[in-house]
Amino acid sequence: MSFIQKIKRLPRLREPYLVAAWPGMGYVAVKAVEHLIRVTDAELAGHLEALDCFHLPGVMVRDGVFEDPNLPESFLYTARLEGAPRDLLIFLGEGQPIPGRELKLGEMVLDTAQEFGAAGVITFAALPTNMSHYDEPRVLISANRGEILASLSHLSIDPFEEGHITGMNGLLPALAAKRGLPGYCILGEIPGYTLHLENPRSSAELLKALGRLIRVEFDTSDLLDLAEFLDIEIDSYLESLKERDEADDLDIELPPRNRGGGSVH
């Protein structure tokens, strides 16, 4: 059963991979997919409606008046990639499902993707480490079958060998294995002290890795420009913690303000 609403006429896609993201740490996955939608001129194909997979924790009030309550939405886009061997289906979810509904939502997304010929599944996720926000983030990759992971050795992306990938960004590629679809999760490193701050530098590295995987190059200059701006904001945030004697508890060292090449951990 398809849960796509207001579906538009889709272009003929060439063995598309589904690239999907839901909110997570550092907003890394969502920001990468939002940027991917922009730089590929992706077209909105429709909405996936799954009302019983979400809940409303509250409502917004503005100027003393309640706003209309809205559940998180889920969007499906299509992107034709000229000169690339395949096209993309792009899924963007505004919120993680409520506990116990993850499998249902994952199967719905995969059902819809396969209706449109999806030949594989790729998600993004964040990997918190003790890196500095001035370091170049490492990128790691996991796959839903060992032989698939082994075939990626030429990409110069280290495997994420052991750990836990939370939320739908980790679950969807695992579910794809049961359908015989290759599935990947590309993880971008972020500083452990910026879990609730945007990390566009990591999002840019995810898109570079995606480009190597599907043999196409994406323009990430806007993300890198934003990263330079946010570096200053993070510095100010850490300075304020130092002033309140809170940084000692967090074991944070301020990096030098002049960004060099950065080290890889």
Query: 156-190, pLDDT tens digit by residue?
Result: 899 998 888 989 999 999 999 999 999 999 999 99
**HEC-encoded secondary structure of 89-144:** EEEEECCCCCCCCHHHHHHHHHHHHHHCCCCEEEEEEEEEECCCCCCCCCEEEEEC
Q: Choose among 45, 39, 37: nearest CA to 19.
A: 37
Number of C-beta neighbours around residue 73 at 10 A: 15
CATH of domain 13-53+70-250: 3.40.50.10900
At residue 49, φ and ψ (nearest 5 deg) are -105, 125
Kindly report, residue by residue over 18-65, the tens digit of the pLDDT. 999 999 999 999 999 999 999 999 999 988 888 788 888 788 899 999
- CA-to-CA distance for 204 and 206, rounded, in angstroms? 5
- CA-to-CA distance for 102 and 54, rounded, in angstroms? 10
pTM for the structure as a whole: 0.85
User: Would you kindly state where each structural domain of the chain is located, as residue ranges?
Assistant: 13-53+70-250
